[in-house]
Amino acid sequence: MSSIEVVDLVKSFGPLTAVDHVSFRVEDGEVFGFLGPNGAGKTTTINVLCTLMRPTAGRAKVAGYDVATQRNAVRQSIGLVFQDPSLDDQLTAYENLQFHAHVYNVPGRERAQRIEEVLRVVGLWDRRDAVVRTFSGGMKRRLEIARGILHHPRVLFLDEPTLGLDPQTREHVWEYILEVQRAHHITIFMTTHYMDEAEHCDRIAIIDQGKIVALDTPDALKRMVGVDIVTLQAEDSERAAREIRERHGLEPQRDGTRIRLEVEGGAEFIPKLVRDLGVAVISVDLHRPTLDDVFLKLTGRAIREGEADPLALMRLHGRLWRGGRR
Amino acid sequence: MTTAYAPTAGLPTRSRRASLGANAGGVYIIWYRDLLRYWRDRARLISSFGQPLLFLVVFGSGLTASLGAGLTKELGDVSYVRFIFPGIVAMAVLFTAVFSAISIVWDREFGFLREVLVAPISRAAVALGKALGGSTVAMFQGGILLILAPILGVSLNPLLVLELLGLMFLTAFALTSMGILIAARLQSMEAFQMIMNFLIMPMFFLSGAFFPLRGLPAWMSVVTRLDPVAYGVDPMRRLLLGADLAPGIEIANHHLGTVEDGLILAAFAAVMMVLAVRAFEAQE
């Protein structure tokens, strides 16, 4: 059964078409990624799917419910982690979850037990009575993930869940996300513009200017741009090239002292290559096609990893200096 | 999929009951959150008690000293400080109610509003929870000031206090609902400053908190009758200081009684509430 079903979805803002006839399906239990540069239509798509915006045209179903006509049923079935924090930072972690449990109608007798369970999953049980204002960015994000799964949603939406976090914290947040996914068998729909994060997905849709330009597993997408490239430096490069041609049936390209090989499954090929070679190897380098290469090939532009949306940054700064006046 | 993971899926009757439960839970927790935040914010607790006290002492004593003779003629043997006391209570209710409602703008700014708006509860539940929260807090705030009554020579009894608290709650509910309507449309805290200067302050000044609403210029007479706060100040003054000082707001040669004041407040609250819910529903 599909958790998400989108058919010919359009969302326009006046003359601007943010989402342009998009169709896709996400299966139960899948980790599905929406990848694309800023302004590609990722957040707009999420907002439509989680009923925060009404579609201009087309149809979308989440957990079997129509996002336009069965909004409350959709809302009850999904968890959300937004780009920007949406916690009450004057309440404690526990109180934030209590609030959530009430508005999502978690039965009274299960509340305490579920809150404890999700807080333990994200490693915040010890900090349950601390006011959220004292939390770091990563802790807040973890708390939001815990909150997102508290009402046992079938689909968890993550909109740039690691935006503005440092690399180490990003890694931790991902561990928690995947832990939650395994433990609860939840479908995860996420947007990101970090290439390395997209690698966690079972399947990825690459979106550009409101349209899906490719949709497949990360490996299949990378195969679209070509095979792995192994670059070798050996003491006697002439002999090395000859041996490679004879033993592996490859066509080595000589580039000064370096030998360039196009192979499939480069990582598995390297040990064989080094073992079989009759000359001493100085260095081996493997370049695998990245999702960035895929995007580059499909659109002619790079996504530019790690670059934050200037508007999001402005909001963040505004919030920082206004924080004191609250 | 285990049953625990099936949210409201199932028979329509069951999901209707579930959504009723969620709405009731939503109203309760939004109300509770306001109380919790109010209780936790000690600075606000202290300042909201200090400000009315300042008005009472400085304004009351200052004006008594400079306008003594003229005032005595109008107020009889009631000191000006005593006269404005019910007005100051109303002021505390007004400001607390409006600030509580306006905190929605903060919630929008800080993102928490999204958590509320994507929840599977109706916008009516959100607005009602918020209005009840603001009203309860404002009622507390006005109620605390009653501690000063004995010092001002006003005697209280349990029934009187209960009546006053009821009036405060009703006034606060009307004003919080109005505040929610404004907040639902307000996009920034800067715009709130304008609302404060051009709506809330005039509402306070024209409510009869500082001067009796009698013998005023015709235009002012009309404006004061449109001010909902006036229908809170007058009955409170009547309960605290007697009917001589607050014979009731005069409309078409009829002096309004306390029950009528209450009905006007309730009607105003109902209209504001409906408009506030609509304003919320219009938001994507």
- Tell me if A75 and B33 make a contact (CB, 8 A cut-off): no
Per-residue pLDDT, A315: 52
CATH code of the domain containing A276: 3.30.70.260
Mean of the per-residue pLDDT values for chain A?
Answer: 85
Predicted confidence (pLDDT) at residue A326 exceeds the cutoff of 80 = no
The answer to whether residues A215 and A278 belong to one domain is no
Report if residue A324 sits inside a domain.
Answer: no
* Bigger pLDDT: A300 vs B159: B159
Per-residue pLDDT, B12: 43
The answer to whether residues A147 and A20 belong to one domain is yes
* Bigger pLDDT: A293 vs A211: A211
B109: chain A residues, CB-CB within 8 Å: 319, 322
Report if residue A199 sits inside a domain.
Answer: yes
ipTM of the complex: 0.85
Report if residue A297 sits inside a domain.
Answer: no
**CA A160 to mean position of chain CA atoms:** 7
Q: How many domains does chain A have?
A: 2
The answer to whether residues A205 and A231 belong to one domain is no
A92: chain B residues, CB-CB within 8 Å: none
The answer to whether residues A145 and A271 belong to one domain is no
CATH code of the domain containing A179: 3.40.50.300
Report if residue B1 sits inside a domain.
Answer: no
Q: Which residues pair with A24 in a beta bridge?
A: A6
The residues, ordered by sequence, that sit 6+ positions from B62 with a Cβ below 8 Å of its Cβ are none
Quote the domain boundaries for residue A252. 227-287
Report if residue A117 sits inside a domain.
Answer: yes
Per-residue pLDDT, B3: 37
Mean pLDDT check: name the lowest of A186-190, B106-110, B225-229.
B106-110
Per-residue pLDDT, B231: 94
The answer to whether residues A257 and A151 belong to one domain is no
* Bigger pLDDT: B78 vs A161: A161
The answer to whether residues A40 and A162 belong to one domain is yes
Quote the domain boundaries for residue B122. 13-281
Report if residue B8 sits inside a domain.
Answer: no
Report if residue A67 sits inside a domain.
Answer: yes
Report if residue B54 sits inside a domain.
Answer: yes
- Tell me if A100 and B25 make a contact (CB, 8 A cut-off): no
* Bigger pLDDT: A296 vs B224: B224
d(CA A232, CA A216): 31
Report if residue B173 sits inside a domain.
Answer: yes
Name the residue among B4, B25, B112 with its Cβ closest to that of A102.
B25
- Tell me if B7 and A54 make a contact (CB, 8 A cut-off): no
Which alpha helices (DSSP H) does chain A contain, by range?
A: 42-49, 71-77, 93-103, 108-121, 137-149, 167-184, 195-198, 218-225, 237-248, 266-276, 291-299, 310-323
The answer to whether residues A176 and A252 belong to one domain is no
Report if residue A68 sits inside a domain.
Answer: yes
B30: chain A residues, CB-CB within 8 Å: 103
Predicted confidence (pLDDT) at residue A42 exceeds the cutoff of 70 = yes
pTM of the predicted model as reported, rounded to 2 decimal places: 0.81
d(CA A216, CA A213): 10
A152: chain B residues, CB-CB within 8 Å: 4-5, 7
* Bigger pLDDT: A282 vs A299: A282
Q: How many domains does chain B have?
A: 1
pLDDT (mean) for A202-223: 90
B18: chain A residues, CB-CB within 8 Å: 76, 105
Among A49, A66, A57, CA closest to A8: A57
Q: What is the per-residue pLDDT across B182-218, written as a single tens digit (0 to 9) for each? A: 998 887 778 888 888 899 999 999 998 888 888 888 8
Predicted confidence (pLDDT) at residue A317 exceeds the cutoff of 60 = no
Mean pLDDT check: name the lowest of A69-83, B10-24, B173-187.
B10-24
Q: What is the per-residue pLDDT across B237-275, written as a single tens digit (0 to 9) for each? A: 999 988 878 788 888 788 888 899 999 999 999 999 999
The residue assigned the tokens 């998400």 is A4
The answer to whether residues A153 and A58 belong to one domain is yes
How many residues make up chain A in this entry?
A: 326
The answer to whether residues A153 and A168 belong to one domain is yes
pLDDT grade for B11, boundaries at 50, 70 and 90: very low
Predicted confidence (pLDDT) at residue A193 exceeds the cutoff of 50 = yes
Per-residue pLDDT, A311: 53
Predicted confidence (pLDDT) at residue A320 exceeds the cutoff of 60 = no
Per-residue pLDDT, B1: 35
Contact A229, A260 (CB under 8 A): yes
Per-residue pLDDT, B75: 67
A90: chain B residues, CB-CB within 8 Å: 37, 40-41
Q: What is the per-residue pLDDT across B132-182, written as a single tens digit (0 to 9) for each? A: 999 999 999 999 999 988 888 888 899 999 999 999 999 999 999 999 999
Which of A1, A49, A94, A103 is the mutation pick for testing B, counting most B CBs within 10 A?
Answer: A103
The answer to whether residues A47 and A87 belong to one domain is yes
Q: What is the per-residue pLDDT across B62-102, written as a single tens digit (0 to 9) for each? A: 777 777 666 666 666 667 888 889 999 999 999 999 989 88
Report if residue B5 sits inside a domain.
Answer: no
- Tell me if B116 and A89 make a contact (CB, 8 A cut-off): no
Report if residue B169 sits inside a domain.
Answer: yes
Mean pLDDT check: name the lowest of A125-134, B47-56, B264-273.
B47-56
d(CA A220, CA B146): 74
Report if residue A63 sits inside a domain.
Answer: yes
* Domain end (from A204, A222, A240): A222
The minimum CA-CA distance between A220 and chain B, rounded to whole Å, is: 30
Which of A80, A92, A96, A102 is the mutation pick for testing B, counting most B CBs within 10 A?
Answer: A102
Report if residue A85 sits inside a domain.
Answer: yes
Amino acid in position B87? G
- Tell me if B7 and A102 make a contact (CB, 8 A cut-off): no
The answer to whether residues A110 and A171 belong to one domain is yes
